[in-house]
Amino acid sequence: MLTRRDLFIKWSAYGLTSLALTFLFALTLRDVELLGAHMFFPPLLVAVVASLEDPRSGVSFGLVCGVLCDLTTAGTFPCVYTLAFTLAALLGAALAQSVLQPGALCSAAVTLLTFLILDALNMLALFITARAPLGAMASLALREALISCPLLLIVHPVLRHVHDRFTL
């Protein structure tokens, strides 16, 4: 059982590691275009933490990440990241607790789930507001998820290390 101080240290470590990874990503890979799309980093952070942590913590992290993304990143509608990341973390935590053992495979599955939810909301918003063609949107969603998922090779071990260091 972690004390309140341990919890504070653990979540500070998660927060700082996430910020450092995001900054590193922005410095190096953000402008790289593959298959006509850019990698999108925040869903990976949400997915990995949701798959490693208990449901309440994972969902809270997803909620905070969502709000921060909505405040700093342009989206298809003002609260898209808050809704998508909270829902994805909730479902991801359920997946990690009942179907898959927390690990790399589980992180990959939750990451795909997070992209699926986020892109479904983006597609819905753009379909309603701009009558965007579904085929083109689905293609972009698929390419975005495909090129972003390899970043798990970095994100998962780093966050796993933080989890093991401050939980076990």
**Closest approach of other proteins to the CB of residue 143, in Å:** 8
Kindly give the interhelix angle for 42-52 and 80-98, rounded to the nearest 10 degrees.
30
What minimum distance in Å lies between the beta carbon of 150 and other proteins? 16
Interacting residue with other proteins among 7, 16, 105, 129 (CB under 8 A): 129
Contact at 8 Å (CB) between 98 and 55? Answer: no
In the complex with other proteins, which residue's Cβ is closer, 2 or 128? 128
The piece of 5-13, 54-62, 106-114, 150-158 that touches other proteins (CB under 8 A) is 54-62
How far, in Å, CA of 64 to CA of 138, rounded?
A: 27
CA 82-49-120 angle, 5° bins? 40
Residue whose token pair is 């599955």: 109
- Of the two residues 5 and 99, which places its CB atom closer to other proteins in the complex? 99
- Buried b vs exposed e over 55-93: b needs ≥16 C-beta within 10 Å? eebbbebbbbbbebbbeeeebbeeebbbbbbbbbbbbbb
- The reply on whether position 160 binds other proteins by CB under 8 A is no
Q: In 3D, which of 47, 11, 70, 13 has the Cα closest to residue 151?
A: 47
- Residue from 23, 128, 150, 157 that binds other proteins (CB under 8 A)? 23
- Residue closer to other proteins, measured from CB, 126 or 162: 126
* One of 53, 112, 122, 163 touching other proteins (CB under 8 A): 122
13's tokens: 């470590």
Taking CB under 8 A as the criterion, the residue among 47, 113, 126, 155 binding other proteins is 126
In the complex, the residues that contact other proteins under the rule CB under 8 A are 23, 26-28, 30-31, 36-38, 40-41, 55-56, 59-60, 63, 66-68, 70-79, 82-83, 86-87, 90, 94, 97-98, 122, 126, 129-130, 132-133, 136-137, 140, 144
